[in-house]
Structure 1
Amino acid sequence: MKSAGGSLDDRASSMIMTDDGNFIVVGETWSSDGDISFENRRNLGEGDLWAVCFDSSGNLVWERRLGGTGYDSASAVAPAPGGGLYNCRSNPEL
């Protein structure tokens, strides 16, 4: 079993298999170390959205962090035309 993330709370919410056999996992991260990429190695606010791509052997292909000063996360992911991704997020405060 392989894993990715940092030293704090990192959670996966959704995973899809892409046409090329890779796997995209989305969720949230509170970490600013390990596999997490951050400007100045810091979290941008509260939790940040984290998207990770693994190949069919479980090796990390790429990862991206997105967020602002508040809480950001992904609850679902779907393929978009042209190789992009759609991200869905639910806000428990609505």
Structure 2
Amino acid sequence: MTITVGSANKLLKSLSSVLLQVQTNQDEYIITGSIQSRDGDVTGFHSSYPGSTDYWVTKLNSSGALIWQKALGGREREDAVAIFSTADGGCIVAGSAESSTGDVTINLGYTDAWIVRLNGPNSTSCTTISNGSWNSTSTWSCGHIPISTDIVYLKHTVVIPDNYAAKARKLIYELPGALKLSNGARLQLSQ
């Protein structure tokens, strides 16, 4: 099993925090830790400030192949300290947050407790975790592209690409969420 965390000079910093893992009921593993990298298998790192970190959550199959990954945080320092699997194949990650930007929507003091729920592929809801394309798994908290049975929560700007048929059961906007349709794009709601 090989997961590329980033360039060599960032590797030791990226793995400096303890990696935590849980096994899901689908014989898969969800691993989390804190990272300072934006290359390799890491996408979505939120800051370039020295010393800033994000939660990094990865899901691996029983052979060690990467299923999905998420970098969660803001411009400051976020450190994951605990992880729990959920029945739908997702997880709950707990730790600390110093940011009030990016995925961290509010900060009540210098360092706050921060708990994040990532839904699994059998979930019934998907929430945007960043601006992006509808058909990119890195846009969604659920780790998959929304399907016709998912309730979709739009908290960011999402673009449905050219000639793409996006699907959802229901669409709920939360400011500043926005949906942009490219040429020939459409959204099919099943409710």
Q: TM-score range by the shorter chain?
A: 0.7 to 0.9
Residue among 17, 25, 28 paired with 1:19 = 25
More displaced, 76-85 or 12-21?
76-85
Match of 1:6 in 2: 6
1:12-91 equivalences under 5 Å are 12-38=18-44, 43-44=46-47, 45=49, 46-89=52-95
Q: Which runs of 5+ in 2 are unaligned?
A: 98-110, 113-191
CA contact (8 A) 2:83 2:94 kept: yes
Structure 1 segments, 4+ long, off by >6 Å, are none
Identical columns (%): 28
Greater RCO, 1 or 2 (C-alpha within 8 Å, sep 6+): 1
- What TM-score, normalized by structure 1, do the two folds share? 0.80
What is the aligned-residue RMSD (CA, Å)?
Answer: 2.2
For residues 9-46 of structure 1, the C-alpha deviation after alignment (integer angstroms, 9 at most, x for no partner) is 222521001010110000011011110112xxx64251
Distance in 1 (alpha carbons) for counterparts of 2:57 and 2:6:
14
Q: CA deviation at 1:81?
A: 4.5
Give 1:89 deviation, angstroms: 1.2
> Aligned residues, how many?
90
User: C-alpha displacement at 1:86, in angstroms?
Assistant: 1.3
Superposition deviation, residue 2 in structure 1: 2.2
Q: TM-score when scaled to structure 2? A: 0.42
* Distance in 1, Cα, partners of 2:42 & 2:72: 11
Structure 2 CA distance for aligned equivalents of residues 54 and 81 of structure 1: 16
Asked if 2 retains the 8 angstrom alpha-carbon contact of 1:50 and 1:73, the reply is: no
Q: Which amino acid aligns with 1:89?
A: G
The amino acid that maps onto 2:3 is S
Answer whether contact 1:31 1:43 (CA < 8 A) is retained: no
Q: What is the identity, as a one-letter code, of the residue corresponding to 1:4? A: T
Where does structure 1 lack aligned partners over 5 or more consecutive residues?
Answer: none
- Say which SS state the counterpart of residue 50 (structure 1) adopts: strand
